[in-house]
């Protein structure tokens, strides 16, 4: 019998597009098996300077990871704390979400987002 | 002039633990923080949230961690300059530094330890075109002296805990309190939300939602604010007030420290992690979340380690040539600057009959 390889059961990376605050488009691969959220993906690829994103660490308490969802991708429903934070944030649009509240899942293949301005 | 051995910029967990480690080496510390209380992010952003990676604490609330750090360092009698931001630094001929705050308070020390976390917390200002014209003329982004609102008409904007808590507090002080928020829902501790509801029912807080402040009226002082309310039909009206307090949270900025001639990378201060976390300017150290080096992790426990090593170097700068070896607190005890002494109880030496 072959030993069970963990790689075989590892979930696939997904392809997503992130437009940074300078308008530059980045096509990147995001792991779906490391419990990473969109804010952490942006940080891991250094698409926004350290200290300007994910300031509260991902508690939906600062809106520094606000982004605009450009694709039709189905996303987890907004929870109360995210909605409350967005109601206090600046530059909020209809399609605003907090990146830290969006966990990467295989269903999000093709997701396209734009980072909101720093505030 | 406040004089001390180590001047610490930032009274968060790393800064507070520095006081303890420095105290063991008989070095005195003074701390400056832009926030009005100790604890940094831990008390400002998430005092009621648990932290799970403090060694030996399976779970501790961020606010409790701050309290315990304060208790641990209190016998070393740290001084505090709170609610002021370190603005400038000047090296003196005798090798010491003078750090001046935005309020003009001067501090002199041989060693400066920057434990500034993500930077100093600056209030987030709402996008109202003429708001800067009224700063300190009726517009305040932080409440420092609640007494200045006594018998005044006050408008607070915001939907979080600080907007709720200050509305409650000022409803007893001010002549009138109006709370304006973009939504009908507020986010805060349940008891604060309930209390505001109760005060609203009693007519002690005037609630306007969902609405936004879009302008300020006045000549050299705030006379009224312009509110845009969006319920059913959109309408604009004025609310007379002497003070307008927008409370939209705080956002950390590296601020004036960025102009001190320190080497900066990724919004953090580069330090020598092979030795003592000193910056490119001898005598100035950077510890905790504010520094960067290869492999840096922004964790409280890493800040504690960095603070400990930094103090050893500070000792050598402050006491050149003086001998010292590391002592264990279990063996040597802890002698406070306040005359207190903590020590391990002596073992009983006694023969059995």
User: CA of B121: which chain A residue's CA is closest?
Assistant: A55
Domain ranges of chain B: 2-121+251-342, 125-248
Contact in structure between B307 and B341 (CB atoms under 8 Å): no
In a domain, A5, yes or no: no
**Which CATH number among 3.50.50.60, 3.40.50.300, 3.30.470.20, 3.30.1370.60 corresponds to the domain B2-121+251-342?**
3.50.50.60
A5 — pLDDT class (breaks 50, 70, 90): low
Rounded mean pLDDT, B89-115: 97
Which of A42, A86, A87, A98 to probe by mutation at the B interface, max B CB count within 10 Å? A87
Distance in angstroms (rounded) separating the CA atoms of residues B180 and A88: 11
Q: How confident is the prediction for chain B on average, in pLDDT?
A: 94
Q: Is the pLDDT of residue A84 over 90?
A: no
**B135-151 pLDDT, tens per residue?**
989 999 988 889 999 99
B161 — pLDDT class (breaks 50, 70, 90): confident
- What is the pTM assigned to this prediction? 0.80
Query: Which range marks the domain in which residue A43 is found?
Result: 12-115
CA angle A48, A103, A75 (to 5 degrees): 105
In a domain, A7, yes or no: no
**Which CATH number among 3.50.50.60, 2.40.50.140, 1.10.290.10, 3.40.50.10490 corresponds to the domain B125-248?**
3.50.50.60
Residue A90: which of B127, B254, B268 has the nearest Cβ?
Answer: B127
In this structure, of A90-94, B83-87, B152-156, B185-189, the range with the lowest mean pLDDT score is: B185-189
Residue B159: which of A52, A88, A119 has the nearest Cβ?
Answer: A88
Residue B334 burial class via C-beta count within 10 angstroms: exposed 0-12, middle 13-18, buried 19 and up: middle
**Whether A55 and B118 lie within 8 Å, measured CB to CB:** yes
Q: How far is CA B269 from CA B113, B114, B265, in A?
A: 12, 9, 6
Distance in angstroms (rounded) separating the CA atoms of residues B296 and B284: 19
Tokens coding A58: 């991902």
Chain mean position to CA B226:
32
Distance in angstroms (rounded) separating the CA atoms of residues B11 and B113: 11
In a domain, A74, yes or no: yes
Classify B166 in phi/psi space as left (phi over 0), alpha (psi -120 to 50) or beta: alpha
In this predicted structure, what is the pLDDT of residue A72?
Answer: 95
- Chain A residues in contact with B266 by the CB 8 A cut-off are 49-51
Q: How far is CA B227 from CA A89, B210, B230, B350, in A?
A: 18, 10, 10, 81
**B295-323 pLDDT, tens per residue?**
999 999 999 999 999 999 999 999 999 99
Helix pair angle (B300-318, B13-24), 10° resolution: 40
Helix (H, G, I), strand (E, B) or coil at A86: helix
In a domain, A46, yes or no: yes
In a domain, A40, yes or no: yes
**Whether B160 and A84 lie within 8 Å, measured CB to CB:** yes
* B2-121+251-342 and B125-248 share one fold: yes
**Whether A84 and B254 lie within 8 Å, measured CB to CB:** no
Give the burial string for A24-60 (b: 16+ CB within 10 Å, else e).
eeeeeebebeeebbbbbbbbeeebbebbbbbbbebbb
Residue A87: which of B159, B266, B268 has the nearest Cβ?
Answer: B159
Q: Does the ipTM surpass 0.90?
A: no
Q: Is the pLDDT of residue B215 over 60?
A: yes
Q: Is the pLDDT of residue B245 over 80?
A: yes
B258: closest CA of chain A, how far (Å): 13
**Whether B160 and A62 lie within 8 Å, measured CB to CB:** no
- Chain B residues in contact with A81 by the CB 8 A cut-off are 187
Q: Is the pLDDT of residue A96 over 60?
A: yes
A50: closest CA of chain B, how far (Å): 6
Rounded mean pLDDT, B335-342: 96
In a domain, A6, yes or no: no
In a domain, A25, yes or no: yes
CATH number at residue A91: 3.10.20.30
**Whether B46 and A51 lie within 8 Å, measured CB to CB:** no
- Give which of B326, B73, B334 is closest to B343, Cα–Cα: B334
Tokens coding B72: 């641990």
In this predicted structure, what is the pLDDT of residue A2?
Answer: 54
B238 — pLDDT class (breaks 50, 70, 90): very high
State how many domains chain A has.
1
């Amino acid at each position: 019998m072959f030993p069970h390889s963990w790689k075989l059961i590892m979930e696939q990376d997904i392809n997503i597009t992130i437009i940074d605050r300078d308008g530059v488009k980045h096509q990147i691969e995001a792991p779906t098996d490391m419990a990473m959220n969109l804010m952490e993906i942006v940080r891991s690829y250094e698409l926004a300077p350290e200290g300007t994103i994910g300031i509260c660490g991902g508690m939906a308490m600062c809106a520094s990871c606000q982004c605009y969802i450009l694709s039709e991708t189905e996303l987890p429903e907004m929870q109360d704390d995210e909605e409350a934070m967005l109601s206090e944030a600046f530059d909020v649009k209809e399609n605003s979400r907090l990146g830290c509240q969006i966990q990467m899942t295989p269903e999000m293949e093709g997701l396209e987002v734009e980072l909101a301005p720093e505030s | 002039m406040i004089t001390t051995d180590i001047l610490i910029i930032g009274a968060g967990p790393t800064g507070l633990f520095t006081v303890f480690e420095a105290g063991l080496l008989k070095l005195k510390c003074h701390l400056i923080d832009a926030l009005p209380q100790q604890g940094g992010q831990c008390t400002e952003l998430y005092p009621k949230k648990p932290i799970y990676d403090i060694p030996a604490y399976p779970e501790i609330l961020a606010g409790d961690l701050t309290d315990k750090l304060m208790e641990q360092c209190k016998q070393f009698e740290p001084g505090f300059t709170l609610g002021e931001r370190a603005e400038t630094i000047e090296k003196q001929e005798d090798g010491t530094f003078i750090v001046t705050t935005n309020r003009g308070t001067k501090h002199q020390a041989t060693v400066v330890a920057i434990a500034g976390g993500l930077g100093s917390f600056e209030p987030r200002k709402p996008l109202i075109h003429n708001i800067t014209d009224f700063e300190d003329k009726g517009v305040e982004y932080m409440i420092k002296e609640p007494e200045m609102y006594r018998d005044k008409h006050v408008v607070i904007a915001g939907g979080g805990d600080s907007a709720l808590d200050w509305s409650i507090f000022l409803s007893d002080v001010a002549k009138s309190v109006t709370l304006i928020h973009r939504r009908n829902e507020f986010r805060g501790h349940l008891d604060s939300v309930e209390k505001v509801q109760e005060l609203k029912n009693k007519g002690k807080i005037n609630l306007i939602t969902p609405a936004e402040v879009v302008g300020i009226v006045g000549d050299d002082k705030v006379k009224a604010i312009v509110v845009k309310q969006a319920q059913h039909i959109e309408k604009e009206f004025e609310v007379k007030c002497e003070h307008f307090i927008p409370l939209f949270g705080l956002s950390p900025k590296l601020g004036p420290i960025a102009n001190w001639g320190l080497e900066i990378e990724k919004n953090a201060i580069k330090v020598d992690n092979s030795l003592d976390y000193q910056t490119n300017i001898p005598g100035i150290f950077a510890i905790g979340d504010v520094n960067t080096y290869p492999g840096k992790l922004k964790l409280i426990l890493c800040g504690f380690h960095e603070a400990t090593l930094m103090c050893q170097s500070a000792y050598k700068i402050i006491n050149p040539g003086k001998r010292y070896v590391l002592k264990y607190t279990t063996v040597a005890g802890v002698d406070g600057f306040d005359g207190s002494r903590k020590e391990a109880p002596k073992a009983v030496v006694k023969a059995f009959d």
